A and B are shown apart, each in its own frame.
Chain A
Amino acid sequence: MRRSFVNTESIVVLAGAIFLIVVLPCLNAFTAPQSWLHVSDFTINLYGKYLCYAMLAISVDLLWGYTGLLSLGQALFFSLGGYMMGMYLMRMIGSLGQYREPIPDFLVFLGWSNLPAIWKPFNSFAFAMMMAVLLPGGLAAVFGFLAFRSRIRGVYFAILTQALTYAACLLFFRNSLLMGGNNGFTDFKFIVGYNLNLSATQRGLYICSAVALLFVYLLCKWMTSTKFGKIQRAIRDSETRVLFSGYSTAHFKLFVFVLASLIASLGGVLYVPQVGIINPSEMAPDHSLEAVVWVAVGGRGTLIGPILGAILVNGLKSWATRAYPDMWLLFLGALFIFVTLFMPSGIIGLPGQVRALKKKIQDRGRPAPPSDLTGAAPLPQPVPANSAAAPGRNASKPG
C-alpha cells in the first residue's frame, strides 16, 4: 500500500511538473490568442503567483506537518525575500520614476537627494540574492536559536512567531525605515536587463517559479525520506522521547526552521517581480494564517497537499472576488470550517476517507473491530498537532 502510494505520487508529480513547466508556457507562447488552446499572459502570471504561494505553503508544512511546529510567521520570511528582490528592482528603475531622478521616488519625497548607504549595494543582483538568503535565514537562526533553547513549543511558538511578524509589519510600515512605508515598492521596470512588461519576461519568471517549486519539492521529498526526516517526524509525535533517546531536538528544529525560512524567501523572491508590488501588509499576521489554511486544505504532512491547497484556495479567491464580490468571504470561511471538521487530512486524504467510509458501510452490522482501526486509518498523518499544542493537557493521550 505504502509503495503504491509513492508510485502514484511520483507519477502525479511528473505529470504535474511537465504540465506546469512545459505545457502551459508552450500554450502561452506558441498558440494564437484566439485559439481555444491558448493560455493568456494573465493566466500565466496568475499561476506564477500561485506557485510562489505554493512554496510558502511547503515551508509552513515542513514545520507544521513534518515537525509539529506551527509557525504563524512564515509570511515574514516570504516578504523579506520579496523585499530584497524589491530593493534590487527599485534600483533597476533608474531614472524612469515619476521624478526622473536616479533614486527611488519615495526617497525623493522623503527629502533625500542621494542614495542612503543601505541601498547602495542593491545595484547588484547577486548581492540582493545573497541578502535574500542571509536576512531571512539569519533572522530565523537567531529567533529559532532563542526559542528552541528555551523549549518554546506548541501554542507559544505559534503566538511568538505571530508577534515577530506583527512587529516586523509595524516596523516596515514606518516610512523612517526607508523601505517605502505603506506603499512599499512598485512600478518595477527591469530585471537583469529584461523588460518586466514583456510577456516573454513574465513567462520566463513563471518557468523559474515552476522549476524552483519542483526543486523545493524534490529537496523536501529527499530530506523527509532520510533518517533526518524520521527524526523530524519523531519530534512531531513525541519530542520528549526523542530527547530521551539522546538526540538534541533543538538543533534539528533549528535546522528545519532555517530551511523553511529559506524556502519561503525563495517564494517571495520570485513573487515580487510577477505581482509587481511588495509592501508591509504582506507581513500582516493574517497572511501567515492564510498559508496555514492552504496547507490544511491541501493536506498536511504531505508535500503535494500544500501545493494543491495553495493553488486551489487562491484560485477560488481569484474567482470569487470577481463572481461574488460581496459574499466570497462567507464561502471562504465556510470552506475552512468544513475542511477542519470533515476533512482532517485535507484533499490528499479524501480518497482515504472515501475508502474508510466504504469499508464502514460494508462492515455495517458486523461488530466493529477493536481500536486498531485508528492505527490502520489510511490518513497519511493522523492528527499530530495536539501533542505539541496543548500545554499541560491531553496527558491521557495514548502515545
Chain B
Amino acid sequence: MKKHFLKATALVSVLGLALQVPAQDTVKVGVLHSLSGTMAISETSLRDMLLFAFDQINDSGGIQVGGKSYKIDPVVVDGASNWPLFAEKAKELLEQDHVAVVFGCWTSVSRKSVLPVFEKDNGLLFYPVQFEGEEQSRNVVYTAEAVNQQAIPAVDYLLDQGIKKFYLLGTDYVYPRTTNLILYKYLLLHGIAPADIGGGFVKNDSGQVISAGKYVPFSYTDFQQIVADIKQFAAGGDACVINTINGDSNVPFFKEIVAAGLTPDECPVVSFSLAEDELRSIPTKNLVGELGCWSYFMSLKTPENKDFLGKWNGWLKSENYPGVVKEHRVVDSPMELSYDGAYLWKEAVEKAGSFDVDAVRKALDSGDISFNGPSGKITVQPDQYTTKNVYIGTTLANGQFEIVKQFPQVVGQPWMLKSLDAQLQAKGM
C-alpha cells in the first residue's frame, strides 16, 4: 500500500501534477458548461445531472482502478456562453487542473472552439447534445444523437404517416443548416418533389442546392410572418414543419403557432431541439400532439428509468450544491446522455485500468464499452459515436412525451452528407 503511494507521488511529481488533494483516492473531472449568458437556460441542467452522476458513482464505491477505488472530484467552470472563454477554460482544465476527462459543451460552436485545445493537449471530451455530425475527432466521444439518430428516423415516421409536404425552419447555424440539407437530400431520395419542401432554397452558381429551409437568427422573437407563411404552405393539408430552431426562440414560435390556430392534426411540428427541459417554458396544454425525437424520454416506462428518476429526485431533495434549483425539475435526453457519458467513461477507465487518455480511448474504441442506462443500452462505437435506442414521442398537456415509436439500437453515422450525395448520384438525381 505504502509502496503504491510512493509510486503515485513520484509519478505525480514527474508529470508535474500539482494536485492538492491526496492523489491516491480522487480523480479530477472537468465540467465545462455555460452557467451564465444565453446558453445557461439549457446547459445548467447538464451540470446538475453530472453532479448527480458523480455523487452516485462516489456513493457506490467510486471508480476501481488497479485495485483501488477513486472518488470523482468535479471541477466545475462556467463557459459563460462566450466561445473564446470556452477555449480558455478547456485549456485551464487540461493544463492547470490536469483533469482526466471533461464533460461539456452544448452548441456546435462551443465544441468547435474547444476541439483544437483537446487535440493539442490530448484530452477527452464527452459531448451529449444532438448535433450535425460531420466531424470525427479522436478526442471526443459523441454520446449525442447524430442526424441519423434523430432527424432521419423522425422523417421516416412522418413519411410513413402519409405526410407529403415538409416545411424546413431553423436557427441560422451549423446544426440546422446541415440537418436541413441532409433532410432535403433524403426527401428527394424518397420521392418528395422540391416544390413540396418549404422554406426556400439557395443555389450555387452551378444550380446545385446548397441550403434548404428558412432561417432565423438566435433569440429571434417575432414569428408572425413565418407562421403566416407556414399556414399558406399547409393550407392544402398533409404538411408538417421540421423545426430545428434552437432553444429559446421556440417559445415565441410555439406561442405564435397556438395563437394562429395551427393545430397538430392540420400540420404537426416535429422539433429536434425541444426536449422536456425546454418544454417547461412553453404552455403545452395547447400543443398536445406535436412531435419530438430523442434517444430518451422521461416518460419511458422501463424499470431502469423509474429507478433512475427516483434516485434523481431523492438527490435533488438532499443536495446542497450552490446554483442547483430543486423545484419543478425534469430530465431530458441531453441530461440523460450526460449521465450515460459519466458511466461509459467509468466503464472504460475500469477496463483500461488507468486514467490515461490513450489507454481509456483504446478501451472505448474496442466497441465493448456499453452501459444499460435509463434509455436502454448505449454502446460506444469504434469511431466514438454511440449506438443507442431512438424514440419518437408526441407532446402531452403535462409537458411530457407519449412514446409512439421506437427504433432500437440505431448506429450513429458521422458522415451523412457524403453518403446521401453518393446515393443521389447513383439514382441519377
Question: Which residues does A use to contact B, with CB under 8 Å?
Answer: 33-34, 40-42, 45-46, 49, 98-99, 106, 109-112, 170, 173-176, 181-184, 186-188, 197, 275-277, 279, 281-282, 317-318, 321-322, 325-329
Contacts and interface: CB of A to CB of B under 8 A. Distances in A.
B234 to A, nearest CB: 26
A385 B233 CA distance: 55
Given A197-B119, A321-B85, 18 more contacts: A42-B91, A42-B95, A98-B136, A109-B174, A109-B178, A173-B173, A175-B172, A175-B173, A182-B109, A182-B218, A183-B174, A186-B112, A186-B115, A276-B113, A279-B83, A282-B84, A321-B78, A322-B75
A279 B323 CA distance: 29
A111 B210 contact: yes
Given A187-B112, A197-B120, A322-B77, A175 B82 contact: no
Contacts of B77: 321-322, 325
B397 interface: no
Nearest to A188: B116
A111 B209 contact: yes
A173 B76 contact: no
A321 B80 contact: yes
A275 to B, nearest CB: 4
Contacts of A328: 36, 78
A294 to B, nearest CB: 15
A33 B18 CA distance: 11
B96 interface: yes
Contact of B82 (A99, A181, A281): A281
B88 A322 contact: no
Interface in B211-232: 211, 215, 217-218
B310 interface: no
A183 B178 CA distance: 13
A182 B80 CA distance: 16
A282 B109 CA distance: 13
B78 A183 contact: no
B87 interface: yes
Given A98-B135, A186-B115, A275-B88, A110 B172 contact: no
Nearest to B173: A182
A329 B87 CA distance: 19
Among A174, A317, A325, max chain B CB count under 10 A is at A325
A40 B173 contact: no
B67 interface: no
A110 B177 contact: yes
Contacts of A174: 172
Among A106, A181, A277, the one with the most B-chain Cβ atoms within 10 Å of its Cβ is A277
Contact of B113 (A49, A277, A318, A326): A277
Given A41-B95, A279-B109, A321-B80, A112 B88 contact: no
Contacts of B208: 111
Given A174-B172, A325-B78, A186 B116 contact: yes
B236 interface: no
B396 interface: no
28 contacts: A45-B91, A49-B88, A98-B136, A106-B174, A109-B134, A109-B177, A109-B181, A111-B181, A175-B172, A182-B107, A182-B172, A187-B115, A187-B116, A197-B119, A197-B120, A275-B84, A275-B87, A275-B88, A276-B87, A277-B83, A277-B84, A281-B82, A321-B79, A322-B75, A322-B77, A325-B323, A327-B322, A327-B323
B177 A175 contact: yes
A183 B171 CA distance: 13
A176 B108 CA distance: 18
A42 B211 contact: no
A216 to B, nearest CB: 21
B108 A183 contact: yes
B92 interface: yes
Nearest to A198: B120
Contacts of A276: 84, 87, 113, 116-117
Q: Most chain-B CB neighbours within 10 Å: which of A45, A174, A275, A276?
A: A276
- When A and B form their complex, which 5 residue pairs have the shortest distance between CB atoms, in order from nearest? A111-B210, A326-B323, A325-B78, A182-B173, A321-B78
Contact of A170 (B81, B92, B217): B217
B36 A329 contact: yes
B76 A325 contact: yes
A276 B211 CA distance: 27
Contacts of B172: 173-175, 181-182
Nearest to A185: B112
B361 interface: no
Contact of B35 (A99, A106, A277, A325): A325
A279 B85 CA distance: 12
B136 to A, nearest CB: 7
B38 to A, nearest CB: 9
A326 B202 contact: no
Contacts of B20: none
Nearest to A277: B113
Contacts of A187: 112, 115-116
Interface in B37-87: 75-85, 87
Count chain B CB atoms within 10 A of each CB in A34, A99, A182, A279 and give the residue with the most.
Answer: A182
Contacts of A188: 116
Contacts of A182: 107-109, 172-174, 218
B160 to A, nearest CB: 28
A186 to B, nearest CB: 5
Contacts of A279: 83, 109, 113
A181 B77 CA distance: 26
Contact of A181 (B81, B132, B173): B173
Given A34-B13, A173-B217, A49 B177 contact: no
